[in-house]
Amino acid sequence: MRCIVCSLAAVLVSAALAGQAPRPPGQPRSGPGGSDYAHAKVVSNVYGKGADQFWVLEPAEPTPKSAPLIVFTHGWMGLQPAVYLGWLHHIVRRGNVVVFPRYQEGVFTPAWEFTRNASGAVRNALAELKKPGHVAPDLARVAFVGHSAGGAIAADMAALAAKEKLPKPKALMIVQPGRGLSDARPVFFAPAGYEKIPADTLLLVVVGDEDRVVGDVTAKDIFKSTPQIPADRKDFVVVQTDRHGEPPLVADHISPCAPMNPGLMLMGQGCNALDYYAYWKLLDALTDFAFHGRNKESALGNTPEQRFMGKWSDGTPAKELVVKREP
């Protein structure tokens, strides 16, 4: 009798699952984008005010003496780390120090001041990190990453690093960069030519196929303006929307946002497969290759590892990243 009941229960469970839409891929346990964190805790502190404000996030438990530095520039009016908190915690718990410059006091901060403000905040953050009680940033292992307006700012800072007395980035990842609305006249312009970005920089320019806010105009412009970077050291990547199951994976303009507070979910989809297998994976792999000489196959080269986006719960592969040498 017990076997009959168990068999019936198994049939009912299988039937119930069969009637459900497939679930999206979960976070991998290891590798780029994975959850095998070296540190259990993130220590966050904020300094300064207004457009000069910045946050420093450091790994703890255990606390390293030194760690690579990643400068993360937010999108327009994404003034708080909370908008990207899932991604920021992921970066830090992997063993990096993050500097998050605010660069705008509010909606009325002139756009042409963004890069100057961000650069000043990074210099101030480096001065703060020299004080006792901080994880020392390894300035030989530095990366810049930014989203939306912050993507353009990250590219600007990479081009202006020597002039602005910023550490030279080994890796640069620009996500959905924009200087205005899609197909509109740019609101602010690059303060320096991108040909000034060092030729040995590893570069990823990433866009979403349903980004209706900034589109891909600025992304293509930045990518095409870096002929000094060899083709095998840079890629143009398109993240694809996948509606195979529920919830769908929508590669829109806010998809790189990763709020952990349910009250901020209107500013992003939370943390999902687009993060684990696209935005987070690509940055992890790019910095792993730049800093440690590993995981190149997940960062560059249009490889299966780079394109892979996990599998839905029914075993269907999620739509792969589209990787191009020329956009």
Q: How confident is the model at residue 268 (pLDDT cuts 50, 70, 90)?
A: low
pLDDT in tens, 73-103: 999 998 899 999 999 999 999 999 999 999 9
- Does position 192 have pLDDT exceeding 90, yes or no? no
DSSP string, 207-219: EETT--SSTTHHH
Q: Is the pTM of this model over 0.75?
A: yes
- Closest among 171, 205, 198, 203 to 291, alpha carbons compared: 171
Question: So what's the pLDDT on residue 8?
Answer: 47
By mean pLDDT, which of 88-97, 102-111, 164-173, 288-297 is the weakest? 102-111
Count the Cβ atoms, other than its own, within 10 Å of residue 245.
18
With 50 as the cut, is the pLDDT of residue 16 above it? no
| pLDDT value, residue 125 | 98
Q: What is the Cα–Cα distance from 139 to 66, expressed in whole angstroms?
A: 10
What CATH number is given for 24-324 in this structure?
Answer: 3.40.50.1820
pLDDT at 5 over 80: no
pLDDT score for 179:
83
Q: Where are the domains of the chain?
A: 24-324
Mean pLDDT over residues 47-66, rounded? Answer: 97
Mean pLDDT of 24-39: 97
> What mean pLDDT do residues 4-20 have?
48
Q: What pLDDT does 261 receive?
A: 72
Distance from C-alpha of 243 to C-alpha of 223, rounded to nearest angstrom: 29
pLDDT bucket at 193, cuts 50 / 70 / 90: confident
The per-residue pLDDT for 52 is 96
More confident residue, 187 or 122: 122
- Mean pLDDT of all residues belonging to the chain: 91
Is pLDDT of 10 > 80?
no
- Terminal Cα distance for the chain, rounded: 64
% pLDDT > 90, the chain: 83
Q: Is the pLDDT of residue 266 over 80?
A: no
Q: How far apart (Å, rounded) are the C-alpha atoms in residues 282 and 33?
A: 8
pLDDT-derived band at 181, boundaries 50, 70, 90:
low
pLDDT of 182 over the 60 cut: no
* Structure tokens that stand for 70 in this block: 């990643």
